[in-house]
Amino acid sequence: MIYTCKKCLFMFDRVGLVERCPDCGSENFRPSTKEEKEEFENYQREFNKKKADKLA
């Protein structure tokens, strides 16, 4: 499940119960929308690609 923090707009992927945003510690977050999920996945892909480039 991917969540979006309403306070800082940080997105995070968590399995199970989530109590706080890992970035700002706010309890004010909601499940991400489909569009947000796609954006998040794109971001993750880019991030992993960059990491792989660095290691190569």
Interface residues with Zn ion (CB under 5 A) are 5, 7-8, 10, 21, 23-24, 26
User: Of 26, 38, 28, 32, whose CA–CA distance to 14 is shortest?
Assistant: 32
What is the spatial distance between Cα 46 and Cα 7, in angstroms, rounded to a whole number? 25
Closest to Zn ion by CB, 27 or 41: 27
Least Å distance, CB 6 to Zn ion, is 8
Least Å distance, CB 26 to Zn ion, is 5
Least Å distance, CB 28 to Zn ion, is 8
Cα 37 to its chain centre, rounded Å, is 8
